[in-house]
């Protein structure tokens, strides 16, 4: 089982799309094991987007991501990191394939609604940035035997 960090970005909250997009992840069979609404500070934005801080477009990204509340969550499931990234689609909503979250709901390169960790190291780092251990509520869901075979881990 893998865990990945997702953020419903400020555009997603403002457009009242959190429920519909969360439903896609639930429909897929991913477990929500932590979730909270919060405001990202400039300091947290710089840690989260450390790889982009030097880019010319970083200041507008920071303004966007700190510009309203977000909902942070941890999703858990088999190959969850890759599965969730594929559900998001390409970074720009204009390039993302139809049927993906960004492809269906976004027409922007920046306002693309949802962040998701892009690999195991990023997932571990980002989960620690947003959640304390005691905020993670792991539990075996009773539906589990009807989502996949018992030998699929």
Residue 115 binding result from Mg ion, ligand CDP, none, given CB thresholds of 5 to 8 Å by partner type: ligand CDP
Tell me, residue by residue from 114 to 133, as one string, x for binding to Mg ion by CB under 5 A and - for no binding.
----x---------------
**Residue 115 interacting with ligand CDP (CB under 6 A):** yes
Contact indicator for 1, 77 with CB cutoff of 8 Å:
yes
Query: In terms of CB distance, is 76 or 118 closer to Mg ion?
Result: 118
Contact indicator for 113, 7 with CB cutoff of 8 Å:
no
Minimum CB–partner distance for residue 109 and ligand CDP (Å): 5
Query: In terms of CB distance, is 34 or 113 closer to ligand CDP?
Result: 113
Q: Which residues of 17-38 are buried (b: 16+ CB within 10 A; e: fewer)?
A: bbeebbeebeeebbbebbbeee
Pairing of β 2-8 and β 31-38:
unpaired
Write out the catalytic residue numbers.
115
Chain contacts with Mg ion (rule: CB under 5 A): 118
């Amino acid at each position: 089982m893998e865990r990945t960090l997702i953020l419903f970005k400020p555009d997603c909250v403002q457009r009242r799309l959190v429920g519909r997009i969360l439903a896609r992840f639930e429909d897929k069979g991913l477990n929500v094991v932590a979730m909270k609404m919060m405001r990202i500070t400039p300091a947290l934005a710089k840690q989260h987007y450390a790889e982009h801080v030097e880019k010319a477009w970083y200041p507008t990204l920071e303004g966007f991501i700190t510009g309203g509340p977000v909902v942070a969550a941890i999703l858990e499931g088999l190959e969850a990191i890759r599965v969730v990234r594929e559900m998001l689609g390409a970074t720009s909503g204009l390039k993302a394939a139809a049927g993906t979250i960004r492809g269906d709901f976004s027409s922007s390169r920046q306002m693309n609604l949802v962040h998701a960790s892009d690999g195991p190291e990023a997932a571990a780092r980002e989960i620690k940035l947003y959640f304390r251990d005691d905020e993670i509520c792991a539990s075996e869901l009773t539906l589990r035997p009807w989502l996949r075979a018992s030998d699929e881990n």
